[in-house]
């Protein structure tokens, strides 16, 4: 990766589906937590219908601004979600795991002076930290932003860049969802698609995808991005 020493770049990573594979525990715990607290199920089509897909935004969109004590409801959903994740990991120590090669790749990237590293996730701080810790990541000194800080994913990405000391215009976001792709389009920054949804991301127009966390594959994608810019 040292061949890119002429142009330093901030690489910002999503968590769920990107660094961490918690499927299917994650979605099931979130759905049950929301239903127990709010007394209703989340809309089945929310993944395609909601404009924003972060922990905070999903609850606000599902319940509406008129919902009494919206902030309190969000906190109770978050706490219930975290407790269910903990129980899931207690029952199955492999229920939350790192994507193959992700821990080693992140470590190598952090040691490389060519790149800065940050994390921007639609999870709440507590749930994201739990999942990263459970998956075996050492992230204590990585600049971090989440839905506990901001409502929209574009705002979260921007804040992560600020906390890393970089302008967001010099960032590349690595994520797995169509909502990640939308956020990068809003910001006008490059996107690298990873995870289970690569084909869907390609169909949606994602120009750069990374099938494995491996230095040569990453170098190829970075080269493609720089050739376009």
pLDDT the model gives residue 6: 44
Separation of alpha carbons 139 and 190, rounded Å: 23
Separation of alpha carbons 175 and 172, rounded Å: 10
Q: What is the pLDDT of residues 126-177, one digit of tens each?
A: 999 999 999 999 999 999 999 999 999 999 999 999 999 999 999 999 999 9
Query: pLDDT band at residue 12, thresholds of 50, 70 and 90?
Result: very high
This prediction's pTM: 0.95
Is a pLDDT exceeding 80 seen at residue 3?
Answer: no
pLDDT the model gives residue 1: 38
Residue bearing the bigger pLDDT, 3 or 149: 149
Is a pLDDT exceeding 70 seen at residue 5?
Answer: no
pLDDT the model gives residue 199: 97
Q: How far is CA 151 from CA 11, 54, 69, 94, 123, in A?
A: 21, 7, 17, 30, 11
């Amino acid at each position: 990766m040292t061949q890119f020493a002429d142009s330093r770049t901030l690489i910002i990573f999503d968590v769920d589906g990107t660094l961490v594979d918690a499927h299917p525990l994650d979605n099931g715990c979130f759905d049950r937590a929301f239903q127990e607290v709010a007394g209703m199920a989340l809309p089945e089509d929310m993944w395609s219908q909601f404009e924003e897909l972060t922990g905070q935004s999903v609850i606000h969109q599902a319940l509406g601004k008129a919902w009494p004590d919206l902030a309190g409801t969000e906190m109770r959903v978050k706490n219930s979600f975290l407790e269910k994740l903990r129980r899931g990991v207690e029952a199955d120590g492999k229920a939350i795991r790192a994507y193959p090669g992700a821990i080693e790749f992140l470590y190598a990237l952090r040691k490389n002076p060519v790149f800065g590293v940050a994390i921007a996730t639609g999870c709440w701080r507590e749930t994201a930290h739990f999942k990263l810790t459970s998956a075996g990541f050492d992230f204590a000194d990585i600049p971090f932003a989440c839905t506990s800080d901001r409502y929209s994913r574009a705002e979260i990405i921007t804040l992560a860049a600020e906390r890393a000391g970089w302008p967001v215009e010099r960032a590349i976001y690595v994520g797995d969802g169509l909502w990640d792709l939308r956020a990068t389009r809003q910001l006008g920054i490059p996107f690298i698609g990873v995870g289970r949804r690569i084909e869907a991301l390609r169909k949606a127009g994602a120009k750069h995808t990374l099938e494995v966390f491996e230095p040569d594959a990453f170098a190829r994608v970075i080269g493609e991005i720089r050739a376009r810019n």
